[in-house]
Structure 1
Amino acid sequence: MSLEKECTHHKEKKKRIIWRLCAGLIIFNFILLLLILLIWAVLQPKKPRFILQDATVFNFNVSAPNILTSSIQVTIYSRNPNDKIGIYYDKLDVYATYNNQQITYYTAIPSVYQGHKDVNVWSPFILGNNVPIAPYNGVQLTSDQSNGALQLTIKIDGRVKWKVGTFTSGRYHLHAACWANIPLGNRGTGISVGTGIKYQLSQSCRVSL
């Protein structure tokens, strides 16, 4: 056998080995993906449920046409509806928006694991000290306060991981939006809590993953 034929034979053999390895890897990944999809279909994971239970307003003041100072404590109920899947919440950020503009700072809720059918209740303070807001929002907020109906959206942003047995998934973005209609002008509908007024809301939140 000539040297040229021997080299050609070795190259073809090497190509066959590489092709078989690639084919085997593709088949393995396909089977693994199919297995994960089958498990996912059987378990049918459901999104966590959030409810904005109440809001306690300690301070909410538009001191200039576009400067807002606020201090609100909210109570958020969170439930894992899955009976076979646990949920890892990475750090969650809670904040308030008005007319799609963020009007408070982020408040972090520490990471926590939520087991099957478990419930967590969080009561973070969301604050804003001399926060600049759009001039038209300043005018509208002043009008809302005069009319006694403050309409905010409490938002929750973070990351979650699913846990099934010993398997833990990658991170998924979680976003929840809770509509809060706070009757500031009617103190009779609230409960005095120190220097604040607590308003019961019991508002379901829209959750997306």
Structure 2
Amino acid sequence: MGSASRAVSCLCCPCKCLACGLFSCLCSILVSVIVTAGVLALILYFIFRPQMITATADSAALSQFSLSPASTLTYDLAVNLTLHNPNTRVGLYYDSVESLAFYKDQRFGYDPLDSFYQGTKASTQLAADFRGQQLLQGDVTAAEFRQEQTDGNFAINVDLNAKLRVKVWAFKVRGPNAKVTCKLSVPAPGATNASPFQPTDCKVGF
């Protein structure tokens, strides 16, 4: 009875049966593609075993860091960073590299860096220098600045942004944008009660 009903339905509306068959075929193809892509991704993962790059702020020093009554920040900050590629089969190209310095979530410094290539199991040292003046917004920032100056250490964030290209054997493909965030405690210039700078592990995201 069911077969007869389907046959009658197809005779009455052949387009409906064609659409159902086409939809079923497309679903089968889509499932096959997804499964194949998943298996291929799993195979590539076990072959290359990609690992996250690591970053460390090795040193940070303030030659000048002062705030005028008009909330203009005058700064001279030097930061040395090390990036490490732990992968054994993947090389990395860093393009459009830029370093930025923040105080209380307000950007005050910018230093573009040269593009570079990082081979497998390689480490790269980078030096970012920030010098100039920048107007800070808000009375709270000024109050916090005075408190940290009294305490002897400033809480400064240094970010590193770069566009990545991935090298696998002779192939180069575009990778994600990398963002390195370093939360630093930097001794205030001339402070006798400052805590020495300690090398700091940075957060790496994409």
8 A contact 1:52–1:204 mirrored in 2: yes
Evaluate the alpha carbon distance shift between residue 56 and residue 183 of structure 1 in structure 2; reply closer, same or farther with a 3 A threshold: closer
Instruction: Tell me how far apart the structure 1 counterparts of residues 89 and 193 of structure 2 sit (CA, whole Å).
Output: 44
State the TM-score, normalizing by the size of structure 1: 0.74
Aligned pairs for 1:1-209 (under 5 A) are: 35-36=40-41, 38-104=43-109, 106-184=110-188, 186-187=191-192, 200-209=197-206
Contact 2:164/2:176 (CA < 8 Å) preserved in 1? yes
User: Could you tell me how far apart the structure 2 residues matched to 1:142 and 1:174 are?
Assistant: 34
Q: Which has the greater radius of gyration? A: 2
The gaps in structure 1 that reach 5 residues or longer are: 1-22, 191-198
Distance in 2 of aligned mates of 1:124 and 1:37: 38
Query: 2: CA distance between counterparts of 1:98 and 1:37?
Result: 43
- Amino acid corresponding to residue 55 of structure 1 in structure 2: A
Assess if the C-alpha contact under 8 Å between 1:67 and 1:132 holds in 2.
yes
Report how many aligned residue pairs link the two structures. 184
Deviation at 1:120, TM superposition (A): 0.7
Contact 2:182–2:203, Cα closer than 8 Å, also in 1: yes
What is the match of residue 13 of structure 1? Answer: none
- For residue 147 of structure 1, report the CA deviation from its aligned partner: 1.7
* Deviation (angstroms), 1:103: 2.2
Query: Post-superposition shift, 1:37?
Result: 5.1
Matched-pair identity in %: 20
Give, in angstroms, the shift of residue 201 of structure 1. Answer: 2.4
2:185·2:197 contact (CA, 8 Å) conserved in 1? no
* Further displaced range: 175-184 or 134-143: 134-143
Q: In structure 2, the residue corresponding to 1:42 is in which secondary structure? A: helix
CA deviation after TM superposition for structure 1 residue 132, in Å: 3.2
Q: What RMSD, in angstroms, separates the aligned Cα atoms of the two structures? A: 3.0
Instruction: Output the amino acid matched with 1:76.
Output: L
Moved more, 77-86 or 39-48: 39-48
So what's the TM-score if we normalise by structure 2?
A: 0.75
**Runs of 5+ consecutive residues of structure 2 not aligned to the other structure:** 1-27
Letter in 2 for 1:206: K
